[in-house]
Every structure is written in C-alpha cells, then in structure tokens.
Structure 1
Amino acid sequence: MTQKLVIIGNGMAPGRMLENLFETAPGLYDVTIFNAEPRVNYDRIMLSPVLSGEKSYEDIVIHNDEWYAANNVTLHKGAKVTGIDRDRKTVTSENGITASYDRLVIATGSLPFIIPVPGHQLPGVLAYRDLDDVTKMLEIAEGKGRAIVIGAGLLGLEAAYGLKRQGMDVTVIHLMPTIMERQLDPAAAYLLEKALNERGIDIITKANTKCILGEEKVEGIELEDGRVIKGDMVVMAVGIRPASGLAKEAGIAVNRGIVVDDGMMTSDASIYALGECAEHRGLCYGLVAPLYESARVLADRLCGGSAEYHGSVTNTKLKVTGINLFSAGDFAEGDDREEIVLRDATAGVYKRLILKENRIIGAVLYGETADGSWFFDLMKKSTDISAMRETLIFGQAYQGGSPLDPMAAVAALPDDAEICGCNGVCKGKITSAITSKGLASLDDVRAHTKASASCGNCTGLVEQLMTLTLGDSYNPAAVQPMCKCTDLGHDDVRRLIKAKGLKTIPAVMQELEWKTSCGCAKCRPALNYYLVCDFPDEYADDYQSRYINERVHANIQKDGTYSVVPRMWGGVTSSSELRAIADVVDKFEIPMVKVTGGQR
C-alpha cells in the first residue's frame, strides 16, 4: 500500500529531497505539500537578481505546476499549516485543509529578525526573505527616492545593490566596524566597501538605529548618535531565526531549531525536519549547499536507507554583478595559525589563506575567485599542503612551481570536487551526465544537473568540464538559434535586418529563410522589437506580436489561451472594476479568480 508523505513547506530543500526521492523510488509515496506562499517552488538564492531586474520570477522557478502533476504531487498553495496532531497523524492548514500522514517532513524555513525599535511596524519597513518582500520593494522603488538597508551582511548588500539598480539612492547602516564581518576579514571588507561605494551605495559602519521615523509610513531613521537619514523604505537584513514554533506547539523537541539526528529525524520517529528550521548537532544552516546535502540523506532514509548527515563546511559568494568574492571556513587570527596573503592593488585582487598544521582552515578571495572551489575542496578534505606550500596562493594551475594549462588543473580535480556550490553538484555528476545523456550544450547541463543554473559563478568551470569531456565536438562559442524557426542567432538576425533593409516581419522571414510560415511566440516579439528600434518611422508596430511579447502578464496554457491575474494597484479597487472582472468571469466561465496588489 502506498504510504502518505506530507511536507510542510515548499522551499528549495524539500524540493531537492523530492527530486532525489522520485529518482530513487518513484511511486513509493503519495505526496502532499502545504505551501504558505501562493506559488510553486522557486530559487530563493536568486531573489537578488530578480530585485536588481536581471531575472524575472519565471526565470527562477524550480518546479512548475506541470512538474507537480507529472509526479502526482498534491500542492496546496497559500495553505499555511497551523496545527500538527501527532496522535491522529494529521496536519491542518488555516484555510481548513486536513491531511493524514505516515511520514511528515517539517520544512518551514526561517523567519527574518525585525529589530523592535520604535517605528518598526510602519508601512515601508520590510524584511528580505521571499518573493512577496521583493514585490513590495519593487513597488516602492517605482517612486525612486531613498532606501535604507539595515545590516551589511550577505543579504543586506545584495538588497542594496538590487535597489540601486532599480534607480533608488541607497544607504546601508551596519553596527559593526566592517561589512560582512562574519565572512570577510578587514582587508577584503575594505575592498568590497570601496567597490560598493563606486556603485553609488553609501555605507555607514559603527552605526546603531535608534528609531524609524514617520507617522503613516517610513520617512527615515534616526541613529543613536543623533544623525537623521531620510528615506522611503527600510529593509531589515539583520539575521534570521528557525521557524520552529509549529513543531514546538506539537511537542516536538526544539532548541534553537527543530532538533534532528543524523538521519534528519526529530524526537517523533514519524516526523523529520529539513532546511533552515532544523538544528543538527547544535547548528542551524542558512546556506543552500548544506540543505541539499541533508536533503539527499532524508530522501535515502524515506526510501529505507541508512545514509547519515554529519554536518557541512560552507562557503559564501556575493551575488552582485561585477564583484567576485569567495569566503569559506575560519579566518580569525590565532597563535597556532599561519597565513598566506597575496595583494595586487592595481588589479584589485586580494587572497588570504589561513593554515593550521599545514592544512587550510579558511580562505578569503576577492577580485579573482577561480580557485575558490579548489581551495574549498582542500579545506573540506583537510589535505596536507606541505608539498605545495610555496605556490599554494597562486592556485591550482601553478602547482609544480610554474603555471600549468588551466584545463589540466580542472582535469586534476577529483570526481567528488564541488563545482556548483549553490546546487551541491560535484565534478563526477557533471561529467557522467554529459557522457550518459549525450549533453552537448551548457543549457543541457544546467537542465540535467542544475550546475551553473543559479548564480552562474561556476559557469566557466562547467564549460571547461564540457571541453574536457567532449573534446573538439564542444564549441561554447556556437551560436544559439533565437528559436526553432531559424538557425540564426539574435545578433545575426539584427545585423541582417539592417544590412538588407528589411522593414516588415514577412520580409525578414522570407529573406532570412524562416522554417515556419509565420514564426512563433519567441521570434515574433523579437522581430517586432528589432524592427521598431531600427525603423521607428517606417515600421508599423505589430500589436499581435507585442501582445505575445507581453505574455508575462499572464500564463499561457497548452491550448493557446491565457490565465490572467488582475492587478489591483495598492489593493485598491472600485465597483466598476469588480463588475468588469465579474462580467469576464461569467462570459468565459472562469473557474477561479485571483487578485493581487503585487507587480505583474
């Protein structure tokens, strides 16, 4: 008989756990997920590029509705669980849905810490944890103005960069003397602060917030030293705490987080905890790599295996375009430690390795981070580096006293060397997937292994592995066609439109030998855009193509129709707007209506 698996939470950790579970034992469980957010699983570590405008929500979706349907997963969106009945083995959501379980996984994540200073409840005071937070930031950013970010940690700086990209003036307030003090030493922090200043972000360190100013909304903040900073938004990025309240109310053992053993089991043998809400050996992890490692262990346990999670060594990368930063391990000073430092002021490069008993225990790289994965692998394996002590700081390619071919350095990496830290993908998984599945492009590798599919910092390494594995048959410079209708890439199409003086979509398709009669939803909007740009006075805008291009305002269905989410600006509407929506619903017999104040 199929067992019932219920999951509370739909974040990245339970998503990866399900991928591993379905790969190993499809059909073993009848899976039900309760998600407090009204959407599918998405890549939270990519919220920063969404905030900066470099990616859209659609770009960061991990599992779409079709994935849940294909795997027979029941997903309850917008269904926050409010109670666990351990005696009856049921969970109940605040909207009245009850589900029974044989095995339960609690993956409730974490809660942002909001400093309880006067004014912290004003509209415009935001956390930075999920897509709803990003949507609210983008709405306020439409009016430009100034954003104040409290906290110069990883999330705080990424929020500051994103809001700056949206056209806001940004000031970052930080309590400590240097930024990202948990991940960087003072030298690297200085370089990072300098780079952020050059991007127009003001940073004030050794500053404590006294209160948030405003009557009906945020108007600024006042610091303890009396300084006042005007602003239209305050983003608090000062830390998180495990969301363990639900488990505690159910009588499950909770310390800082939900206490789990090496199999991710809680004090109740039928209940497991996974992700940021879990506490393993006294530690709670907030980075994705350890969450994926524990997800693999839990998937194995749910299949009847005996895998164990022994904790993780973590590393940090900042997702700010143009800034290369890598940090891992312990970089504090001590009498029993040595350090190797390389500085290149002209190139803006700083590297520091911390050694103890001829083993790397910490690394900070700024400006040049290509060897981060190699240093991290040496650190995780506690490798004795005595033989390469003199050239260690120059990286893997310089071992042996002189520079080697970088490809040889990548080839020398062991199969278990981590390539993609965001998704926990090792070298062996990538190369075996390339060989066994016949992968020939970077997009193929991303789709099958998830390597390079998140922040993209490992893209160079992945392409080197593809070159090593495929040899001359791999050409990373090969042009990707703009769609299935043509073999030409976007650059070639744009160049030929200008060179041939093509001023209509039919002319482009005929002269450039399109494979279809009238194009598709990918090429028509692109052609329409190129023609409008090149011949604004002669080309008649194709509104049909423009409508296709604006399909992000709706979700296209397989039959060519669209589901539309009407936006009510600021949550404010009128009887005439509601009546118009009702008329459309009646006319087309629409089974469900959703409204949102969020940006569409």
Structure 2
Amino acid sequence: MSDHLIIIGAGMATGRAIEDLRSAGSDIKITLFNAEPRGNYNRIMLSPVLAGDKTYEEIVTHDDAWYAENDVTCRFGEKVDAIDREAKTVTAANGDVLSYDKLMFGTGSNPFMIPLPGHDLDGVIAYRDLEDTQKMMDLGPDNKCVVIGGGLLGLEAAAGMAARGVDVTVIHIMGHLMERQLDEAAGYLLRKALVDKGITVKCSANSKEILGENGKVRALLLDDGTELPCDLLVMAVGIRPNVKLAQDAGLAVGKGIHVDDQMVTSDPDILAVGECVEHNGAIFGLVAPLYDQAKVAAKTLLGEDATFVQKELSTKLKVTGCDLFSAGDFAEGEGREDIVFRDPARGVYRRLVIENNVIVGAVMYGDTADSNWFFGLIKDKTDIADMRETVIFGPAFQGGAAVDPLSAVAALPRDAEICGCNGICKGEIEDAIAAGSTDLAGIKATTKASASCGTCTGLVEQVLAVTLGDDFVIPAAATVCGCTDMTHEDVRRMIKSQKLTSMNAVWQECGWKTVDGCPTCRPALNFYLLADWPLEYKDDPQSRFINERKHANIQKDGTFSVVPRMWAGITTPDELRAIADAADKYMVPTVKVTGGQRIDLLGVKGEDLPGIWKDLNDAGMVSGYAYSKGLRTVKTCVGTDHCRFGTQDSTGLGIKLEKTLHGAWTPHKLKLGVSGCPRNCAEATCKDIGVICVDSGYQISIGGAAGMDVKETELLVQVPTEDEAILVIKAVSQLYREQAKYLDRIYKWMAKVGLDWIKEQIVDDLDNRAALVDRFELSQTIYRHDPWAEHVKKAETYQPLANLSLEAAE
C-alpha cells in the first residue's frame, strides 16, 4: 500500500475517490490541493443556487470537519506548479516540494471561451464555479444578461437569472436548443417553456463581436447587425479538459489525460479521474461516469481489481417547470422507426427511436416520471416486440391496461438502475432498507441515491413504498400547507364532490391535522368555499390577508394605500376635487397616478381609513379593490369617441366590464385591458384578459402577464358584438374561479389545463357557457358590495389572524 497520495483538484470525482478509500478502511496519507479556496461542493447543483432554490452551504459535500475527520491535509487556494515524475514530487505555487508515492489528477476542465473580439472585457464570464455563479446572482431586475449557448449549462444559467428578475437573452447557433440531446419537436417545446419564463431565445444566431465601453462589456453584436445590450455576458459553449499540468509533466495527453481501464495514466504511479481524462477516445462531462471512475481509481489504489466501463448516459435539465429527459441515439438511419406521443394541452411529448425491436433513443418532455424505465430498456437492449403497441405509455400500461405505478416499480429487477448519477440499482436500495434505512434521508446517507442532482428522488421514494408497504408514505407534492397531506386540487375536488360548505366540514372530512387551520390554508379554503357554494357559504373576513381585511394596501411603514375606483380610467372634475380634498384633510403625503389609470392615495394612517372611505363614498366613489384577489382594473384607450384609429367604443366596453366584474373574488388578482384598435394603446395583450377591437368585432385573448413573468395573451375567440364579448368574459372569469388553484394567475392555470380545454368549455359548448355566466351573476348578486361603505357603517375594526402573512401593494 502506498504511503502518501497527493490529489490535485478537490472536485466531485476526487471527493468520491477519497470517500471510497476511507470507507474501505484505507489509512493512506492524503494531501489535497485545490486552486479554488474551498473544498468539494456539488457543482451540478450550482443552477438551483443561482435560481435561489438552494444556498451554497446546502450543496457542500465535504466541509472542513469532514476533511479533518477523514485525515485529509487540505491545501485549498493553492495551485501545483510542477510535477517531477522521476523524483516523484510536486511543487506548490509557494515553492513547497512534496514527495508522493501515488498521484491523482482531478484537474477538471476549463470552460471554452469563443475567441470573439472583446472576449477579454470585464463582465464576460463562463459558468463554471461558485465565483461565476455569484457574479450572476449579483445581477438584479434592472440588469440585462446575454447567454451564448443553448445547451444544458447555458439554459440552466439563463433560467436561474430569469428567476431573479434579470432580463435574459439566450443566443444559440443551431436551429433548436440542446440539439445534441433533443430532436426538433422537443427543442421547440423547451424553447416555448423558456420564453414563457420571460427568457428571449434566438436560435440560428451567430455571434460576431462583444462590444465594450471603458473596458466593460456593453453589448453582443450578431452577424446580422443586431446589438443585444448586456451588463453581463455568459459563455456556456462547452468545456475542455484541463491537461496543461499533465502535459508539462510528460504524460500522454490527447483531448484529455489518457487513462486505461483502471484509471492509470501513462505513468503507473499517476491516476486521473473526472473531466480531465480521456478513456478510449471519450471525454466526460456528466457526473455518473465521474463517480464510476472514482470508484475504480479507489480500488486500483487499494490493489483490487476494477475496470471502468463506459455506459449509456442520460440527460435531465435542472430548470423548474421544464421537465426534460433524453438518452440514446436519435440519428436517422435505415431500419429505424419512431413512436411519438403528443398531448399539446398538457405540454407532454415523448419520442422513441426503435431499431430491430430495441429502443435506441428516447426523449421525453413535460412528463418524465417513466424516464428510468425507458433508460433501462435502452441500456439492456430489451426486445419490445411484445409491448410494441403500448410501450410509449410507460410501464404502468404494459399488459394492455393501466395499473398502479407502484406495481411497475415492484416489477423492476434488482439490477435496474434507479440513481444514474451514482450508479445505484434497485437491489442496493432494497439492501439498505433491510439494513435499517427506512426514509429518503437514510437512503441518501447509505447509498447516495438521489443525493446528487435529485431527479430520481420520486423513484427512490417509490422503491421505499414498495419495500416497506404501509410503513412508508410518499410525501405529498405541493400540499395546501402543513395542516394537510392533500393538494389544492384534491381539496377542491372534495369540496365539490362531497358538498362541503364550511371550513369545519373541510377540516373534518379531509382529515386536517389542526383544529382550525393556519394562515396559509384558511385564505385558500375561504376562497374555494366562496366560489363553489355562494349560496351556502358566508365569507369569513378573518380568513383573508390583511390588505383584504383593511380594504387598503399596507405599506412598508405601516400606513395604507387607498385607491378609489375610476371606471375604465374615466373620472370627473367633482371626483378629482373630492380626491384632492381627502388628500388635504388626511394629510396624505403622496398622490400617484397608477398604471391602471387610477389615483392612489399613499401614506394614509390606519385610524383615518374609515374617515377617508366615508368622504370618498359621499362623493360617489367606491373601493377600487386594489388590495383584492379579484378584479383590479380595466385599462382602456379612448376608442371611437376621440381617436381617429378607433374601431369600437373601447372605453364604453371597459366601463361595462368593470361594473360587471368588480367585487368578484378570484384565485388571484385579475386585470383587463380593452384596446380600440390593433395599435393596442391599452396594452390588452399582456393582461389576464384582453380585448382588441377590430372592424369586425372583438378579439378576446387570455393568459397575459407583465410582472415577474412576461407573457403575451393567446386568442380565445373573436365575437361580433359587445354583448357577446361581455358574456364570454363572464364565463372565462367564472371558469377560472371554479377551476384554478388559489394564488394562480390565469396564465398559470391555463398552462395546466390548456387553452384548447378552455375553448371547449366556453367557445364550443354554448350551454356550458350560459351556465357559467348564470353562476357568475348569482355570485355577484350575493357578494358584490362596497366594503368601504359597509365598514364605515359598521365602524368595525378588524384584528389580524395570528401570523397571517402581509401582502405588498401592487
């Protein structure tokens, strides 16, 4: 056994090798150099750190205490300058010379920087380590970023910054995103999902020059002359193995450091693992083969037989809301055929490439739950002749009928791979369970399954459920709150199907864990009951957020914002005088015109609310519901009354819509716009519901957004008359009220149910449309009122429910 092992590079591969050595009982002396000023962290989880889903501390795999406990001498922030193979020494940057018996390279890779003019400007970075991630995290909503590269890394970088509000543009030279892993159809779906997240995507775009100013990046110039302004430019166009130190030491080097099946280089005392190696002509950028290399290297150092074998690899994208899986070969060839499944309403796409009754390639988008099963078929070269007609539907449908998904997991053989990153099969998880690991945390600790990228977590939980039976319950996803294991959708179904008309009934029938709910679930239940049973249920003000209880928006200093309604932005001199008088009387410090064509009185003291409400009421003005989960505004242009381009009376329609919809509680705020012509001065195409007036009638579109997410509306229907337009909008509003999850805007609800389904309910089924309108009007008859007038009359003061969250004014 060697006396001293020096490792260069504290990455994921060398970290795993150290783990394997120590777990095997080796007491070999280990010195670990690393150019970064830190130890091993899970680099594949930098994307969730960038997106704000995790912190750096959560992705550290080996902290200082671990290195100390495992007797590893750490020299972090230090480079190795030279290696003397004959003397078997390494020379550190500070001049120290250390002797080794065995040496291991884990120098990783360097990001490839396209040698464009300007690539050395300040603000041009790669996406490789924590420092790069921190620079991206430092950007805010006022910043612009350009990402060159539409592969895995580039898209994860773009999505992470977009989640932080950064204006992001992705430039990709190929015709569709992730062309190495995806076919054109899946690439289209991925692009659409990223655009829905507010990311601008330009494919078939070629970069020409990086423009700067005072040594700092200013913009990217494309070869078609387009300039894309940016405060930061990220290159994510690939990696190159870091081989310079090995090359200088005289080791055999090609694309990477040459290694044999035992991970030994051309020098028998030097090994290499990770992204810096080349094995049989291949280099590696995914974590699964790196961990396999680490395992083989550790066994080689221990004097045990081990062989590194290249395996079929799969790809998954770590972008929230973009479920994507790809594995195998998609090249066209004689004798190959495709099986394709599309469900546009759900955004689901599957494609299998089959050759001689064997799946050689699979791509899945939107629903990747069966990805491990398909991956197993590819790796095992399974003959699918007997399930040819149903294979596209996944394991739950084999045998001709749908079965419990857990049965499909139970049928997997023990050697079926569950965790691709760590090469953990079903049998290893079953053995760990038998040894006492009975939850996900225990499985992670003993086998490392689901401890890397986390995409196999659901499958690991299913293996636990199959093995432990009733002793294990798969954690519910997206539950309403900690009071219940039920999702919002489950609760809504119970409220409707069981005719639950009170919170007490919901708590009893749905098995609530608390006696009277909590500040998270009570507002949701209050809305669901209000929307589904308007005749039977009475609104509970104490189950509303503070803004809705106070009928004004609370500000950061504890004062309130009061917004009287101005129907479609129309006001009168008398109303303006009343607002001015109220502002003077109550010493309102700020009076502001809002984006919704109203006037906002900011800084009103809580004790003055009843008084200012009364004065505005006396002048004929009512609450603008600017605090509500309900209709906020209907923004309009002047239409045919004044504009020479107007095609219809947009202002008149806006007033009618606002008077029809105001006071209607909805899952989230509701904003409308009515533009008198396609010039769209009222910005109708970024509202929840928008109307564009044309010569032949009214184009009604839905699903827009202009906040953290920016989305254009999609056309629902064009109708010839104003009356029909109002009926359609009533029906859309009611369908949204009855079907959407609480706090989902229309565009989020539409993404779940699909625009086609909404059209079926409202455009195609006129009887259903009429029934929706009737239910909407019934609810309005019962619940629409002016809360300012009501609460001035009652002189009622509401106390907040304990710990109920405050909501910012919008």
* 2:142 aligned to which of 118, 133, 144: 144
Q: Which amino acid aligns with 2:239?
A: I
Q: In structure 2, how many angstroms separate the alpha carbons of the residues matched to 1:143 and 1:76? A: 38
What is the match of residue 227 of structure 2?
228
Q: Which amino acid aligns with 1:51?
A: L
Q: Which runs of 5+ in 1 are unaligned?
A: 482-490, 500-532, 538-600
Q: Deviation digits for residues 552-577 of structure 1, max 9, x if unmatched?
A: xxxxxxxxxxxxxxxxxxxxxxxxxx
Range with bigger deviation, 335-344 or 225-234: 335-344
Taking the TM superposition and a 5 Å limit, the aligned residue runs for 1:423-572 are: 423-436=422-435, 438-477=436-475
Deviation of the 1:103 alpha carbon: 1.0
Deviation of the 1:422 alpha carbon: 2.8
Tell me how large the CA RMSD over aligned residues is: 2.4
What is the match of residue 367 of structure 1?
366
Range with bigger deviation, 467-476 or 276-285: 467-476
Q: 1:494 to 1:146 in 2, by over 3 A?
A: farther
Deviation of the 1:339 alpha carbon: 1.5
Deviation of the 1:492 alpha carbon: 6.8
Q: Residues 141 and 167 of structure 2 are in contact (CA less than 8 Å); yes or no, is this contact kept in structure 1?
A: no
Q: Which amino acid aligns with 1:405?
A: D
What is the match of residue 381 of structure 1?
380
Q: Which runs of 5+ in 2 are unaligned?
A: 483-512, 522-553, 559-810
Deviation of the 1:342 alpha carbon: 0.9
Q: Which amino acid aligns with 1:468?
A: V
Q: Deviation digits for residues 224-276 of structure 1, max 9, x if unmatched?
A: 11111111110000111100111010000001100111111110000011000
Q: In structure 2, how many angstroms separate the alpha carbons of the residues matched to 1:10 and 1:98? A: 19
Deviation of the 1:454 alpha carbon: 3.2
Q: In structure 2, how many angstroms separate the alpha carbons of the residues matched to 1:172 and 1:496? A: 42
Taking the TM superposition and a 5 Å limit, the aligned residue runs for 1:316-465 are: 316-436=315-435, 438-465=436-463
What is the match of residue 52 of structure 1?
51
Q: Deviation digits for residues 41-92 of structure 1, max 9, x if unmatched?
A: 1000000001111110000001111111111111111011111110111112
What is the match of residue 23 of structure 1?
23
Q: In structure 2, how many angstroms separate the alpha carbons of the residues matched to 1:107 and 1:493? A: 56
SS in 1 for 2:104: strand
Q: 1:473 to 1:102 in 2, by over 3 A?
A: same
Q: Deviation digits for residues 354-398 of structure 1, max 9, x if unmatched?
A: 112211111101111111111111111222222221211111111
Q: In structure 2, how many angstroms separate the alpha carbons of the residues matched to 1:335 and 1:61? A: 48
Q: In structure 2, how many angstroms separate the alpha carbons of the residues matched to 1:69 and 1:322? A: 40
Deviation of the 1:475 alpha carbon: 2.9
Q: In structure 2, how many angstroms separate the alpha carbons of the residues matched to 1:247 and 1:408? A: 51
Q: Which amino acid aligns with 2:260?
A: D
Q: Residues 264 and 272 of structure 1 are in contact (CA less than 8 Å); yes or no, is this contact kept in structure 2?
A: yes
What is the match of residue 83 of structure 1?
82
SS in 2 for 1:267: coil
SS in 1 for 2:61: strand
Q: Which amino acid aligns with 2:197?
A: R
What is the match of residue 5 of structure 1?
5
SS in 1 for 2:377: helix
What is the match of residue 593 of structure 2?
none
* 2:174 aligned to which of 170, 173, 176: 176
Taking the TM superposition and a 5 Å limit, the aligned residue runs for 1:278-297 are: 278-297=277-296
Deviation of the 1:20 alpha carbon: 1.6
SS in 1 for 2:119: coil
Q: 1:414 to 1:97 in 2, by over 3 A?
A: farther
Q: In structure 1, how many angstroms separate the alpha carbons of the residues matched to 2:385 and 2:474? A: 37
What is the match of residue 261 of structure 1?
260
Q: Which amino acid aligns with 2:199?
A: I
Q: 1:494 to 1:110 in 2, by over 3 A?
A: farther
Q: 1:498 to 1:130 in 2, by over 3 A?
A: closer
Deviation of the 1:2 alpha carbon: 5.8
Q: 1:162 to 1:262 in 2, by over 3 A?
A: same
SS in 2 for 1:409: helix
What is the match of residue 568 of structure 1?
none
Deviation of the 1:477 alpha carbon: 4.2
SS in 2 for 1:177: coil
SS in 2 for 1:41: coil
Of structures 1 and 2, the larger Rg is shown by 2
Q: Residues 441 and 476 of structure 1 are in contact (CA less than 8 Å); yes or no, is this contact kept in structure 2?
A: no
What is the match of residue 185 of structure 1?
183
Deviation of the 1:470 alpha carbon: 1.6
Deviation of the 1:95 alpha carbon: 2.7
What is the match of residue 505 of structure 1?
none
SS in 2 for 1:415: coil
Q: 1:251 to 1:396 in 2, by over 3 A?
A: same
Q: In structure 1, how many angstroms separate the alpha carbons of the residues matched to 2:352 and 2:520? A: 53
Q: Which amino acid aligns with 2:93?
A: E
Q: In structure 1, how many angstroms separate the alpha carbons of the residues matched to 2:415 and 2:128? A: 31
Q: 1:382 to 1:498 in 2, by over 3 A?
A: closer
How many residue pairs were aligned? Answer: 492
Q: In structure 2, how many angstroms separate the alpha carbons of the residues matched to 1:225 and 1:425? A: 49
Q: In structure 1, how many angstroms separate the alpha carbons of the residues matched to 2:452 and 2:310? A: 23
Deviation of the 1:443 alpha carbon: 2.1
The alignment status of 1:129 with 2:137, answered yes or no, reads no
Q: Deviation digits for residues 161-220 of structure 1, max 9, x if unmatched?
A: 011112110000010111100110000000000010111000011111111111221111
Q: Deviation digits for residues 516-543 of structure 1, max 9, x if unmatched?
A: xxxxxxxxxxxxxxxxx9x998xxxxxx
The alignment status of 1:164 with 2:142, answered yes or no, reads no
SS in 2 for 1:214: strand
What is the match of residue 112 of structure 1?
111
* 2:204 aligned to which of 187, 191, 206: 206
Q: In structure 2, how many angstroms separate the alpha carbons of the residues matched to 1:16 and 1:189? A: 34
Q: Residues 2 and 102 of structure 2 are in contact (CA less than 8 Å); yes or no, is this contact kept in structure 1?
A: no
Q: Residues 462 and 474 of structure 2 are in contact (CA less than 8 Å); yes or no, is this contact kept in structure 1?
A: no
Q: In structure 1, how many angstroms separate the alpha carbons of the residues matched to 2:305 and 2:443? A: 30
What is the match of residue 631 of structure 2?
none
Q: In structure 2, how many angstroms separate the alpha carbons of the residues matched to 1:25 and 1:255? A: 35
What is the match of residue 244 of structure 2?
245
* 1:195 aligned to which of 193, 196, 214: 193
Q: Residues 128 and 155 of structure 1 are in contact (CA less than 8 Å); yes or no, is this contact kept in structure 2?
A: yes
Q: Residues 261 and 308 of structure 2 are in contact (CA less than 8 Å); yes or no, is this contact kept in structure 1?
A: yes
Aligned-pair identity in percent equals 56
Q: Which amino acid aligns with 2:399?
A: G
Deviation of the 1:455 alpha carbon: 3.0
Deviation of the 1:142 alpha carbon: 3.6
Deviation of the 1:447 alpha carbon: 2.5
Q: Residues 158 and 318 of structure 1 are in contact (CA less than 8 Å); yes or no, is this contact kept in structure 2?
A: yes
Q: Deviation digits for residues 411-441 of structure 1, max 9, x if unmatched?
A: 11122222122333221222211221x2232
Deviation of the 1:150 alpha carbon: 0.3
Q: Residues 25 and 303 of structure 1 are in contact (CA less than 8 Å); yes or no, is this contact kept in structure 2?
A: no
Q: Deviation digits for residues 107-149 of structure 1, max 9, x if unmatched?
A: 100000001111111111010011111112222x047311000
Q: In structure 2, how many angstroms separate the alpha carbons of the residues matched to 1:494 and 1:71? A: 50
Q: In structure 1, how many angstroms separate the alpha carbons of the residues matched to 2:302 and 2:201? A: 50
State the TM-score, normalizing by the size of structure 1.
0.79
State the TM-score, normalizing by the size of structure 2.
0.59
Q: In structure 2, how many angstroms separate the alpha carbons of the residues matched to 1:168 and 1:177? A: 25
Q: In structure 2, how many angstroms separate the alpha carbons of the residues matched to 1:494 and 1:69? A: 49
Q: Deviation digits for residues 11-48 of structure 1, max 9, x if unmatched?
A: 10111112122122331x11111011101210000000
Q: Which amino acid aligns with 1:8?
A: I
SS in 2 for 1:219: strand
Q: In structure 2, how many angstroms separate the alpha carbons of the residues matched to 1:476 and 1:492? A: 21
Q: Deviation digits for residues 460-495 of structure 1, max 9, x if unmatched?
A: 1111111112221223449999xxxxxxxxx97996
Q: 1:87 to 1:282 in 2, by over 3 A?
A: same
Taking the TM superposition and a 5 Å limit, the aligned residue runs for 1:583-594 are: none
